[in-house]
Chains A and B, each alone.
Chain A
Amino acid sequence: MSVELDVFVGNTTIMDKEVYQLWLNGYTVNDAVKVRIDGGVMEECEASAEVLLSDTMDQYRTFQMCERLLHHPAKLANQLLFQIPPDRQAMLIERYYAFDDSFVREVLGKKLSKGTKKDLDDVSTKTGITLKSCRRQFDNFKRVFKVVEELKGPLVENIRQHFLLPDQLARDYAAIVFFANNRFETGKKKLQYLTFQDFAFCAGQLINNWTVGAVDNMMEDMDVDLDKEFLQDLKDLKILITDKDLLDQHKSHLNNETSHPLSLVCTALRGKTNVFNEMEANFKNLSRGLVNIAAKLINAKDVRDFFIDLVEKFIEPCRSDKWTSIDVNLYLTHYTNSAHILDTFKHHAVWTRYMGVIKSCILRMYHD
């Protein structure tokens, strides 16, 4: 005797959070039942394995039927097929769009294309996350990306509105979309130590400061792309390194106490840090590195390498000199400020906009 058909439909759709999570995690029905049995539900409710199986199957079916609605969360509230209380709806959406940090690290900055999707089995093997779950997460990224790509207005807000996500999750998605759009390289070995949250933070900085929307609050433009004009202007910063005088002057401020005590980099730093000597020695290198990054950002390819460049040109040298993050903070603060004192340096606005982001990104990234 076998059960051919087994269906349970409630007027209010019944959804068990635990089962939902198992489904999201890509467990098969049988695996899910095992997990549930191990979880002790049976004893609690005097259920048998059969009952659990039946219940799990039902819920899986319900989730599958809901899935297409979840692809457009706004529809969940307006559809008639399932009667789901609002709090449940929010839970469904939030969990559906939740992702694993380890997974996102693998995909971050990659083109959300079919090619990438094909490689997901490798990702799955590497991260231990089921392929099904990987696909769901990947598809979520892609879906959000597609919807938001062409929309005007603030990125985070767009995501939050279209996908009804809570704030934090919406920010994370903004970061993912932003990375995917600009194809930032995050997979290199040197970047492996960075977590998704590090990148998400940086993305937030970039979005808030370097995109068109950052300057112009009118909803005209999008947050997804960097502000081309700004990138163009960054080229002008090159003067800081190409002009010998300026470079020396900038550096000299490290030492010259007399000229501008407060704003000169070295003046300010002297005595406050144990690594002053290294700073002084590396000043040109570091400065050249940062300015070069700025100057090259106009090229899309160099944008992709932005994080690598930061690490290679700045973080690694500092780290090898054993700077603490306090040191870095001090250095960058003074480095930024002192440029304004330079007589021949005109690009204060661009410099501020640039260094503000660089500084916070580096500080965030400056850890083991």
Chain B
Amino acid sequence: MDRASDLTDAFVEVKFGNTTFKTDVYPKSLNPQWNSEWFKFEVDDEDLQDEPLQITVLDHDTYSANDAIGKVYIDIDPLLCSEAATVISGWLPIYDTIHGIRGEINVLVKVDLFNDLNRFRQSSCGVKFFCTTSIPRCYRAVMVHGFVEELVVNEDPEYQWIDRIRTPRASNEARQRLIFLMSGELQRKIGLKVLEMGGNAVVGYLQCFDLEGESGLVVRAIGTACTLEKISTLPATATHPSNSSPSKDMKDSPQAAPSTLGCRSTHSSPVHSASSRLSQGFSVSVPTLLFAGMKPRHRSSEAPRARQCRQSLFLLLHTYKHTHILRHTHTGTVLMYDPVSPCVLMECVPPCSDRPGFGEEAPGVPLSSGPPTPLRAQTFSSFSPSKSYSRQSSSSDTELSLTPKTVGIFLCPSSPALESESSPLPSAHLPRHLRSGMASRSTTPPPLHVSQSDSAMLRKSVSFSEELLLAVSGMGSGGSAGKEAGPLKALLRQQTQSALEQRGVSSSSEAFVRTGEYPFFTLTAFPPGFLLHVGGVVSARSVKLLDRIHNPDEPETRDAWWEEIRQEIKSHAKALGCHAVVGEEVCILSASGTAAILSSRFMQDAPLETEHRLSRQPLCVFSTGSERVEGDMGSSASLGFEEVVSPGCGFCHIPYDELNIPFPAQLTYCYCCRRYKVPDVLFTTIDLPNEANVTGKGCLIQARVRTPHTADEQTKATRHERFVWSSYPNQCGRDHAARTSGVYLTALPSPGGIQIAGKTPSDITYEQHISNMQKKINDTIAKNKELYEINPPEVVEEIIGSPIPEPRQRSRLFRSHSESSDEVSELDLSHGKKDAFVLEIDDTDAVEDIHALLTDSPTPAGFYSCNTEIMPGIQNWTSAIQMFTSVRVFRLNNVNLTNQGLNKIFTDLCENLLKSLYFKLRSMVPCCLCHLNFTVAIPEDELIQVAVTAVAMSFDKEQPLENGKQSGEKTLIKAITENDEQLQFNLELNAETSSPNPLSSPKGLSEVGSHPSARAPSVDYSSFADRCSSWIEQLKLKAHTIRRGSVKTTSSLEKASPLPEGRSRSLRSNRSYSGSSVAVVKMTPLSFIPGAKIIKYLGIINMFFIRETTSLREEGGVSGFLHTFIAEVFAMVRAHVAALGGNAVVSYSMKECVFMENPNKNQAQCLINVSGDAVIFVRESELESTSVQPQSATTQTSNGGEGT
């Protein structure tokens, strides 16, 4: 930099892998323009996916070292999939870990992919990744293969010896780069697994980091492997993929094109489009095969771990089996898996041993208890350690089996791959043919598999089998995982490994097939009919001491841990009688209440160590659990219903035997159909099924617990958010409501107020008090009913009288207990059984507090909040959305507070936070805060960090029904329904894939895609400055990426450029002074955008940033620092999305926000990890007109690509 003029002599380094190119120095300017030629990289197989493209802008110094200005990391992964983006072109922020955003650079990146015909290739280009936890809107699931996970461990550069001598900037950059590398690798590996399974996409992809300090850096990811098909695509395309087996595909698509990276500033844009085409086959057929294969899998050989665990598992299985059966009979549905059981049991044992890991809780805790234990799902316990919330997902147990839901299951397999269906999956077959439940998938399948699949295929299938099986059943269930993702998510690699090992075994002896597996799904929304019953929430946690790791760099160890946890969850799920586990930790079970109780116990057992350990140092643990609760008491069904389970209520029927209720729950006959029993409250971690009957509006229920930590540990805060849906039977008009959460220390109905019933234990002393409280509570209940538009036709009392043994209102008490072991004993959760409301007040001192807790301030008029995707009961969304992130850190000054005191404080904190949100968003009234999820962390003693990311969506006041058509919501639903219908349709037809879809109307759109009008309009660039000076960089870099083996040359690249140019923003002089020239990019944590249709998914956005400052005060203190950083992160996400050609990010989430400060040194550091799906959406109103455009755009693009 020239000191006199404050101008820079800038140049750029473009690096990919080990290859680096440089531009010339552009002297003395804040608006350098390089207009470089293309930089061409030829890249090896693995690097293509692992490496980010790094663009470093430097200030040339003749005599001293060049000064870094900033960097841009570009994930080229979206370019590797033919259906995603074709080019990255636009202004991207130049980011420096010390100074933040320092300017922008215009870059053009293109990838030409040569197909790798090598079967043993290491890359998995072409697999699509989605963060969305439901089937992406413009796709349809041909098949859901199951759960995939991967984990990568590396040394944390921050803790290497060299860190002592290098600058903070160098360290931060080393870390950022490493994480980019690791996530690339992770995606690649997961992609490979998916390919092995025959899928072509990963839905509900969730990636997490564990910063374990000196023991390493862990990146984990989970997802649900699917075979997706574009809805709108022409039949031709669909068929194409299906036919080809993976290997074939590769051959077919050899079009390699050189990919170029160009950074260019001025208009000269040379750009072009890079099209990467990998033809990956998504062989549909394959999937089916896989499917079959999957079931069989069981890991026969796994490292023996906790024996106890095994044992317990075994037992569980056993018992559960029975239950299932019973249940089935009840429902009339057959569980596939029961049949298996016998065989399974046999086999299981060994496997169990392998699995020992089930108990997440850690080895120490045996799952001793029989059925009940499983229940423990700690749902409420909230401990879920790390930020991961354990969502509870409910899945239908029997999906596999037959009930209508089965259909859903079938769907998957059936649609694309015809072949597979018939032959491969036993289970599938069974269900269809034998709905009666005979089918135990276990035995039958294996043979089939063998026959069908090639050995290779088998293997794959085998390896995944467990999960797959589960998946099959659980397909629908999935969503929860995503949330919980936290630590749990990462599935064990071991699993896979073991799976591999097993393959051999399994393939050889199919007999082993275990039926018992529960699939994990990372989805939260399922096709209608997919969910049969919702069991409840299951969760598990464990704590590990990092210092016991002998070889920290080996991922296997951690894999094993995860494995254990997953196993634990599975066992819980079994206890509840469900087949599928949604999310990792979650199982679908009906009795949530129970689960909660159990969990608390569970907590007790394994008090000290909560799961966190993975994510953090062993000692500091905090857990957050957010759970969603669905409270459906009854479903409404007309009395006369016969066998058929009405869709509206079926999912709430209990999956388990009523005689063996795992936890104390009140069962009643379903209000809808009156045939089956339903629990009084359902907790789930998934979105409310569309078909569910819902009365009134939902509201947010919150429970918070804060307990002082135990001995040496720090305090832990736990907080649960639960969303309760009250579904009241519409038809019958009975209502019940039971929902509530009273909690011993903590759970409390949130601002919205739920009906609360409190009953004192027998404590006489407080009666007076309590009666007062009771009164207030009753008032509140009445008010809330009105507020939420719950108008039960009949009075509760009547219900009581009704023949059916009905529960009356009951409130359930969950306790969320803190982990501290000491405290555990205080509460007994067993109160659930009591009639009426139970509000246990066991601590005399707590009375006042409880009172305070229960009388939360109401939400302001016009506000609703929920932590699900959408608020039940509200349908007419307008297009106004506002996504936000809010972070607060509190310091507790008084360490000696009692539990109640702490809880009170914590409650206040959260209350205030919510109030602030309401206040800030008051201009959007009426609106609903959706996807409201709190992440609580304890960065250090006495500090509580609460982070919230949510979206506020306004809606029309009018009655939903009347205006429903207009509302986006409705359309949404419609779309979904259509989707579902399609699925079903397919299933029934068995794979007539090509049948034209009515829905697909926007046909061409989806395919195309690349740059709809939405693409970022040209921006004039004016330099943006950081505090020092504004920087604008215009770079024209050209880079070329070629896959190994490809032969292309770059020569012709230039030709392509014209197109890009048009697109690229004109930097220059034409400054338009008015109006915004930066493309507007919407962001939302939801999977959809109200009032708009997503026409194309451009790829996943997964970014990791570090920001550090040594001048904290000057930057406005911690708040100023973090505020800036978050704003910068948003800006970078938006810029990358715009560069991909998108205009929105859906399923956005901030998965990690680690903030550390040292005020004394005037320093602070923050790490943030965000992810989401870049999409192009079109307003429904504009759909018609725009639809044409994108197509043409694409065409052009493709032409350009060809030209090269």
Interface string of A76-94 (1 = CB under 8 A from B): 0111111111100100000
A277 close to chain B: CB less than 8 A: no
**A12 and B882 in contact, given A4-B1118, A161-B1073 (Cβ under 8 angstroms):** yes
Set B93, B916, B1120, B1134: member contacting A8, Cβ < 8 A? B916
Which residues does chain A contribute within 8 Å of B1021, judged by CB atoms? 78
Q: Do residues B916 and A77 form an inter-chain contact, with CB atoms below 8 A?
A: no
What's the Cα separation between A9 and B917 when bound, in Å?
A: 11
What's the Cα separation between A353 and B1021 when bound, in Å?
A: 43
Q: Do residues B1078 and A80 form an inter-chain contact, with CB atoms below 8 A?
A: yes
Which residues does chain B contribute within 8 Å of A58, judged by CB atoms? 920, 1123
B644 close to chain A: CB less than 8 A: no
A50 close to chain B: CB less than 8 A: yes
Interface string of B878-890 (1 = CB under 8 A from A): 0000111111111
**A77 and B1075 in contact, given A8-B920, A10-B883 (Cβ under 8 angstroms):** yes
Distance in angstroms from B1103 CB to nearest chain A CB is 14
A218 close to chain B: CB less than 8 A: no
A349 close to chain B: CB less than 8 A: no
Q: Do residues B1022 and A72 form an inter-chain contact, with CB atoms below 8 A?
A: yes
Distance in angstroms from A48 CB to nearest chain B CB is 7
What's the Cα separation between A61 and B1123 when bound, in Å?
A: 8
- Closest B residue to A69 by beta carbon equals B1024
What's the Cα separation between A9 and B884 when bound, in Å?
A: 5
Q: Is the interface of B mostly helix, strand, loop or mixed?
A: mixed
Which residues does chain B contribute within 8 Å of A68, judged by CB atoms? 1025, 1027
Q: Do residues A77 and B1126 form an inter-chain contact, with CB atoms below 8 A?
A: no
What's the Cα separation between A82 and B1124 when bound, in Å?
A: 10
Q: Do residues B1080 and A83 form an inter-chain contact, with CB atoms below 8 A?
A: yes
Set A50, A62, A161: member contacting B912, Cβ < 8 A? A50
Partner-binding segment picked from B17-25, B177-185, B407-415, B891-899: B891-899
Which residues does chain A contribute within 8 Å of B1019, judged by CB atoms? 78
Which residues does chain B contribute within 8 Å of A82, judged by CB atoms? 1127, 1131
Which residues does chain B contribute within 8 Å of A51, judged by CB atoms? 912, 915-916, 919
What's the Cα separation between A58 and B1074 when bound, in Å?
A: 27
B793 close to chain A: CB less than 8 A: no
A322 close to chain B: CB less than 8 A: no
Which residues does chain A contribute within 8 Å of B1077, judged by CB atoms? 77-78
Distance in angstroms from A202 CB to nearest chain B CB is 28
Q: Do residues B1131 and A81 form an inter-chain contact, with CB atoms below 8 A?
A: yes
B860 close to chain A: CB less than 8 A: yes
**A47 and B915 in contact, given A3-B889, A74-B1022, A86-B1076 (Cβ under 8 angstroms):** yes
Which residues does chain A contribute within 8 Å of B1119, judged by CB atoms? 5-7, 57, 61
What's the Cα separation between A6 and B883 when bound, in Å?
A: 17
A65 close to chain B: CB less than 8 A: yes
B99 close to chain A: CB less than 8 A: no
**A7 and B886 in contact, given A61-B1119, A81-B1127 (Cβ under 8 angstroms):** yes
Which residues does chain A contribute within 8 Å of B920, judged by CB atoms? 8, 10, 14, 55, 58
Q: For window 914-972 of chain B, which residues contact chain A by CB distance below 8 Å? A: 915-922, 943, 945
User: Which range holds the interface residue count of chain B?
Assistant: 35 or more
What's the Cα separation between A50 and B1022 when bound, in Å?
A: 39
Q: Do residues B1024 and A75 form an inter-chain contact, with CB atoms below 8 A?
A: yes
Q: For window 839-864 of chain B, which residues contact chain A by CB distance below 8 Å? A: 857, 860
B74 close to chain A: CB less than 8 A: no
**A5 and B918 in contact, given A61-B1123, A164-B1073 (Cβ under 8 angstroms):** no
Interface string of B906-918 (1 = CB under 8 A from A): 0000001001111
What's the Cα separation between A78 and B1070 when bound, in Å?
A: 12
Distance in angstroms from A151 CB to nearest chain B CB is 14
Which residues does chain B contribute within 8 Å of A79, judged by CB atoms? 1024, 1078
B1135 close to chain A: CB less than 8 A: yes
Q: For window 981-1020 of chain B, which residues contact chain A by CB distance below 8 Å? A: 1019-1020
Interface string of A183-202 (1 = CB under 8 A from B): 00000000000000000000
B905 close to chain A: CB less than 8 A: yes
A359 close to chain B: CB less than 8 A: no
Set A54, A72, A81, A84: member contacting B916, Cβ < 8 A? A54
What's the Cα separation between A92 and B226 when bound, in Å?
A: 48
What's the Cα separation between A73 and B1074 when bound, in Å?
A: 10
**A81 and B1081 in contact, given A5-B1155, A50-B912, A62-B1123 (Cβ under 8 angstroms):** no
Q: Do residues B890 and A2 form an inter-chain contact, with CB atoms below 8 A?
A: yes
Which residues does chain A contribute within 8 Å of B1135, judged by CB atoms? 80
Set A1, A4, A6, A11: member contacting B884, Cβ < 8 A? A11
**A77 and B91 in contact, given A11-B883, A61-B1119, A83-B1081 (Cβ under 8 angstroms):** no
**A4 and B890 in contact, given A74-B1071, A164-B1074 (Cβ under 8 angstroms):** yes
Distance in angstroms from A224 CB to nearest chain B CB is 20
What's the Cα separation between A84 and B885 when bound, in Å?
A: 16
Distance in angstroms from A60 CB to nearest chain B CB is 9
B104 close to chain A: CB less than 8 A: yes
Distance in angstroms from B1132 CB to nearest chain A CB is 8
B573 close to chain A: CB less than 8 A: no
What's the Cα separation between A338 and B233 when bound, in Å?
A: 86
Q: Do residues A7 and B888 form an inter-chain contact, with CB atoms below 8 A?
A: yes
Which residues does chain A contribute within 8 Å of B888, judged by CB atoms? 3, 5-7
Which residues does chain A contribute within 8 Å of B1072, judged by CB atoms? 77
Which residues does chain A contribute within 8 Å of B912, judged by CB atoms? 48, 50-51, 54
Q: For window 324-340 of chain A, which residues contact chain B by CB distance below 8 Å? A: none
Set A1, A9, A162: member contacting B1127, Cβ < 8 A? A9
**A80 and B886 in contact, given A54-B916, A55-B916, A85-B1076 (Cβ under 8 angstroms):** no
Which residues does chain B contribute within 8 Å of A65, judged by CB atoms? 1120, 1123-1124, 1127
Which residues does chain B contribute within 8 Å of A50, judged by CB atoms? 912
Q: Do residues B943 and A4 form an inter-chain contact, with CB atoms below 8 A?
A: yes
What's the Cα separation between A259 and B432 when bound, in Å?
A: 119
B1082 close to chain A: CB less than 8 A: yes
A46 close to chain B: CB less than 8 A: yes
B823 close to chain A: CB less than 8 A: no
Set B883, B945, B1076: member contacting A77, Cβ < 8 A? B1076
Distance in angstroms from A315 CB to nearest chain B CB is 40
Query: Counting chain A CB atoms within 10 Å of each CB, which of B104, B921, B1124 scores highest?
Result: B1124
Query: Counting chain B CB atoms within 10 Å of each CB, which of A4, A51, A62, A84 scores highest?
Result: A4
Q: Do residues B1122 and A5 form an inter-chain contact, with CB atoms below 8 A?
A: yes
Q: Do residues A80 and B1123 form an inter-chain contact, with CB atoms below 8 A?
A: no
What's the Cα separation between A79 and B1132 when bound, in Å?
A: 11
What's the Cα separation between A89 and B918 when bound, in Å?
A: 24
Distance in angstroms from A52 CB to nearest chain B CB is 8
B1023 close to chain A: CB less than 8 A: yes
**A11 and B1130 in contact, given A83-B1081, A86-B1076 (Cβ under 8 angstroms):** yes
- Closest B residue to A5 by beta carbon equals B889
Q: Do residues A61 and B1118 form an inter-chain contact, with CB atoms below 8 A?
A: no
Which residues does chain B contribute within 8 Å of A14, judged by CB atoms? 882, 884, 920-921
B1128 close to chain A: CB less than 8 A: yes
- Closest A residue to B884 by beta carbon equals A10
B1116 close to chain A: CB less than 8 A: yes
Which residues does chain B contribute within 8 Å of A8, judged by CB atoms? 884-886, 916-917, 920
What's the Cα separation between A77 and B1021 when bound, in Å?
A: 9
B701 close to chain A: CB less than 8 A: no
- Give the 5 A-B residue pairs with the shortest CB-CB distance, closest first: A5-B889, A10-B884, A11-B883, A80-B1131, A9-B1126
> Which residues of B are at the interface with A, using a C-beta cutoff of 8 A?
91, 93, 101, 104, 857, 860, 882-894, 905, 912, 915-922, 943, 945, 1019-1025, 1027, 1030, 1071-1078, 1080-1083, 1116, 1118-1120, 1122-1124, 1126-1128, 1130-1132, 1134-1135, 1155
Other CB < 8 Å A-B pairs besides A5-B945, A5-B1119, A80-B91, 13 of them? Answer: A1-B894, A4-B943, A5-B888, A5-B1118, A7-B888, A11-B884, A11-B1082, A14-B882, A47-B919, A65-B1123, A69-B1024, A77-B1074, A86-B1074
13 chain-A/chain-B pairs, Cβ below 8 angstroms = A3-B888, A7-B1126, A11-B882, A11-B884, A45-B922, A58-B920, A72-B1022, A77-B1078, A78-B1019, A78-B1024, A80-B1132, A80-B1134, A83-B1130
